[in-house]
Amino acid sequence: MGLKDRLLQKNIVTLIVFLTVLTCLSSAYGLPRTDIYTDVGLLGVTITNLGYVGNGFDGNGSQPSGEYPIFSNVEHLFLGGIWIGAETAGGERLVSTGAQDASTLSAGEETREFNDLTEAEFPVQIWSNRQNEDNFNSRALATQHIELAFDDFRNDVTSHTPIGVQVVLRALAWSDPFADDFVILDYSIINVSGTELSNVYVGYWNDTTVGNTDQTNPYDSQAAVGWNYYDDMNGGWGPPGWAPEDATVEGDDKIWMMWERDDDGDDGLATSWFGTRLLGSAPVPEPPVGVAPVSYNAWAFRHVPAQDDWYVNPDEPTEELPGKYQLMGNGAFTVGETQALDYTIASDWVGLLSTGPFPSLAPNDTLHVTFALVAGVDSLALQANSKVAQKAYDEGFTIVAGPPSPRLEFSFEDNSVIMTWTPGDSLDSEGNPLQTDSPLRSPEHHISETTAREDFQGYRVYRFQGDIIAGIPEEVATLVAEFDIIDGIGFDTGLPPLMANGKRRFVDTDLLDGFPYWYSVISFSAVDPSEGLDELRSGFHENGELVYPGPAPSGADNPGTVGVYPNPYRTGSLFDSRVGEQELGRKVWFTGLAARSRVQVFTLVGELVKTIEHDDPGSGQHSWNLLSDFDRVIATGLYIYVVEDLATGEIQRGKLVIIK
The tens digit of pLDDT for each residue in 132-191 reads: 899 999 999 999 999 999 999 998 888 899 999 999 999 999 999 999 999 999 999 999
- Spatial neighbors of 326 by CB under 8 A, at least 6 apart, are 305, 309, 310
pLDDT recorded at residue 8: 39
Distance CA 610, CA 627 (A): 8
Predicted TM-score of the model (pTM): 0.87
Q: Read off the DSSP letter of residue 163.
A: -
pLDDT recorded at residue 6: 40
Under-70 pLDDT residues of the chain: 1-31, 529-532, 556, 572-584
Q: How far apart are the first and last CA of the chain?
A: 39
Strand partners, 658: 569, 637
Cα torsion through 85, 86, 88, 89, rounded to 10: -170
pLDDT recorded at residue 449: 84
Distance CA 150, CA 167 (A): 5
Phi and psi torsions of 395, nearest 5° = -105, 25
The amino acid at 41: G
**CA neighbor of 399 nearest in space, from 389, 407, 408:** 389
Number of Cβ within a 10 Å radius of residue 606 = 7
pLDDT recorded at residue 340: 81
504 Cα distance to chain centroid: 30
Strand partners, 582: none
Q: Read off the DSSP letter of residue 211.
A: E
**CA neighbor of 64 nearest in space, from 81, 45, 91:** 45
pLDDT recorded at residue 23: 38
Instruction: Strands of 466-591 (E only): list them.
Output: 478-484, 504-508, 517-525, 545-547, 563-565, 569-570, 588-591
- Strand order from edge to edge, sheet including 637-645: 569-570, 651-659, 637-645, 596-602, 608-615
pLDDT recorded at residue 52: 97
Dihedral sign computed on CA atoms, order 9, 575, 482, 442:
negative
Distance CA 237, CA 258 (A): 6
User: Domain residues of the chain, as ranges?
Assistant: 6-225+259-288+357-394, 409-547, 563-659
Question: Which three-class secondary structure state does DSSP give residue 5?
Answer: coil
Decide whether 409-547 matches 563-659 in CATH topology: yes
Query: CATH assignment of 409-547?
Result: 2.60.40
Beta strands at 651-659 and 569-570: parallel, antiparallel or unpaired: parallel
Q: Which CATH number fits domain 563-659: 2.60.40.4070, 3.40.50.300, 3.40.30.10, 2.30.110.10?
A: 2.60.40.4070
